[in-house]
A and B are shown apart, each in its own frame.
Chain A
Amino acid sequence: AQRVTQPEKLLSVFKGAPVELKCNYSYSGSPELFWYVQYSRQRLQLLLRHISRESIKGFTADLNKGETSFHLKKPFAQEEDSAMYYCALGTNAGKSTFGDGTTLTVKP
């Protein structure tokens, strides 16, 4: 069975500070990892996926299979980054399992 753990329910940083949202997963197969974001009053949307090795809005995430982690990082947080962030684990069957999310607040 697959499982995603986001250990921090709430995370607060000041504008310009680095931010790291933690995600750990449990899965016996080859994982596909994603980060989704939900801004206030908006729908849940895909932020980035590990397979693309992309940087979106300054965020990056590296898959560490040894530590079974996929932490989301940004070197300089902005106020507009305040949102709910969900880590998700996808399988070959097309099913994704989501963590319970981390609410990020960036203070001015």
Chain B
Amino acid sequence: EAEVAQSPRYKITEKSQAVAFWCDPISGHATLYWYRQILGQGPELLVQFQDESVVDDSQLPKDRFSAERLKGVDSTLKIQPAELGDSAMYLCASSSTGGPDYGYTFGSGTRLTVV
């Protein structure tokens, strides 16, 4: 069964350092999402891509977060500088359609701890 790949699984970084996460969606899935999940809460959308274009980044803290999907396939989410409040699970998901009709397939996530 096809999966969404994410790396690393865990990341510990010091405050003010840069950190990056990688996601490879299911082959052929045009829509890619980055979600952040703080402990005890549901996932919150950070950015949505349709192919290589950003569709929604209204909740992305653009002063420190950036995301790219240069060739419309895999994607990188970067935080610079990291802050203590960024500690969370970062989830990547993909969908074959631009709409939510079929739901998402999620990766296993990257657990970020900022110390």
Q: Which residues in A have some Cβ–Cβ distance to B below 8 Å?
A: 4, 32, 34, 36, 43-46, 49, 51, 86, 88, 90-101
Contact B108 A90 (CB under 8 A): no
Partner of A98, one of B40, B44, B102, B108: B44
Contact A92 B99 (CB under 8 A): yes
Q: Could you say which residues of chain B place their CB within 8 Å of the CB of A92?
A: 99
Tell me the smallest distance from the CB of A34 to a CB of chain B, in Å: 5
Main DSSP-derived SS at the A contact region: strand
Partner of A44, one of B44, B55, B101, B106: B106
Task: Closest B residue to A6 by CB, please name it.
Answer: B42
Tell me the smallest distance from the CB of A97 to a CB of chain B, in Å: 7
Q: Could you say which residues of chain A place their CB within 8 Å of the CB of B102?
A: 49
- A51-B42 contact in complex given A43-B107, A43-B108, C-beta closer than 8 Å: no
- A94-B98 contact in complex given A43-B106, A43-B109, A46-B104, C-beta closer than 8 Å: yes
Contacts between the two chains (Cβ within 8 Å), count: 67
Contact B103 A46 (CB under 8 A): yes
Contact B101 A95 (CB under 8 A): no
Contact A49 B103 (CB under 8 A): yes
Tell me the smallest distance from the CB of A78 to a CB of chain B, in Å: 23
- 30 A-B pairs, CB-CB below 8 angstroms? A4-B42, A32-B99, A32-B100, A43-B106, A43-B107, A43-B108, A43-B109, A44-B43, A46-B103, A46-B104, A88-B103, A91-B100, A93-B56, A93-B99, A94-B31, A94-B50, A94-B55, A94-B95, A94-B97, A94-B98, A94-B99, A95-B33, A95-B48, A96-B45, A96-B100, A97-B45, A99-B42, A100-B40, A100-B41, A101-B42
Q: Could you say which residues of chain B place their CB within 8 Å of the CB of A4?
A: 42
Determine if B105 is an interface residue (Cβ-Cβ < 8 Å). Answer: yes
> Digit string of B85-99 for contact with A (CB within 8 Å is 1, else 0)?
000000100010111
Q: Could you say which residues of chain B place their CB within 8 Å of the CB of A36?
A: 103, 106
Tell me the smallest distance from the CB of A42 to a CB of chain B, in Å: 8
